């Protein structure tokens, strides 16, 4: 406990020293931009903390339910994501986003499957029915999926959507190589008597 207090005091002293350095920047544009950045960050975190206090005051929920409320709030949830503190696993957030977009996809004869997350990249499979082959439909569906996923999981490093057709392959007429018939020489050997 004592060590945590000392670390916080050291961090506060470092912040104060950095603010003093900023105030002494010789370039007025760099100084103004940096001060504006610091102020914007302080304002955003202040607004997030105020929102959390407001939610606590209005809630009669136990701690875990309150944490879930924090996670679903746009501002507080984004601050939790920024610091790796979001209580809902990224896979769960992706699954929830996909559940939200499935009716739209189904209306276009498609479905979506979550495959895996590897190296911060989510891999999905878009299975097309009526929409396969139509590039504008596929593009609109991909965009809807991407938007839903990135809204729910902005902490992803990337998104890969594999497109798979669920239409059976067309069975055409089987083609077989048939070698040309040998021409028979019509010259028949006839026995001539004579």
Q: Which domains does the chain have, with CATH numbers?
A: 2-82 (no CATH), 90-165 (3.30.300.130)
Residue among 93, 53, 59 nearest 75 (CA)? 53
Distance of CA 53 to the CA centre of its chain: 30
User: Which residue is listed with tokens 């929102």?
Assistant: 51
Q: Are 23 and 14 in contact (CB under 8 A)?
A: no
Looking at residue 135, what is its pLDDT? 59
Neighbours of 128 (CB within 10 A): 21
Rounded to the nearest 10 degrees, the angle between the axes of helix 63-72 and helix 28-58 is 140
Q: What is the mean pLDDT of each run of 10 residues along the chain (194 residues)?
A: 78 88 92 92 86 83 83 85 85 94 90 92 83 66 91 90 68 50 51 48
Residue among 130, 125, 165 nearest 142 (CA)? 125
CB-based burial of residue 34 (10 Å sphere; 0-12 exposed, 13-18 middle, 19+ buried)?
middle
Q: Are 105 and 141 in contact (CB under 8 A)?
A: yes
The alpha-helical segments, DSSP class H, found in 59-175 are 63-72, 74-82, 90-107, 135-152
Q: Are 112 and 96 in contact (CB under 8 A)?
A: no
Residue among 79, 87, 28 nearest 51 (CA)? 79
Instruction: Round to whole Å and give the CA distance between 132 and 98.
Output: 19
Instruction: Round to whole Å and give the CA distance between 67 and 56.
Output: 10
Q: Are 14 and 6 in contact (CB under 8 A)?
A: no
Looking at residue 192, what is its pLDDT? 47
Looking at residue 100, what is its pLDDT? 94
Looking at residue 24, what is its pLDDT? 92
């Amino acid at each position: 406990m004592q060590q945590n207090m000392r670390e916080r005091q050291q961090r506060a002293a470092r912040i104060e020293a950095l603010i003093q350095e900023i105030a002494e920047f010789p370039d007025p544009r760099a100084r103004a931009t940096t001060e504006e950045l610091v102020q914007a960050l302080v304002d955003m975190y202040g607004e997030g903390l105020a929102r959390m206090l407001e939610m606590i005051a209005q809630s009669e929920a136990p701690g875990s339910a309150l944490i879930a409320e924090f996670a679903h709030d746009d501002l507080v949830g984004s601050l939790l994501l920024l610091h790796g503190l979001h209580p809902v696993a990224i896979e769960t957030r992706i699954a929830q986003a996909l559940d939200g977009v499935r009716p739209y996809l189904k209306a276009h004869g498609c479905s979506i499957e979550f495959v895996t997350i590897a190296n911060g990249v989510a891999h999905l499979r878009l299975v097309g029915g009526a929409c396969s082959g139509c590039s504008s439909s596929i593009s609109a569906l991909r965009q809807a999926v991407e938007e839903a996923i990135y809204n729910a999981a902005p902490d992803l490093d990337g998104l890969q959507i594999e497109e798979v057709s669920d239409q059976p392959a067309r069975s055409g007429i089987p083609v077989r190589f048939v070698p040309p018939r040998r021409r028979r020489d019509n010259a028949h050997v006839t026995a001539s008597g004579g």
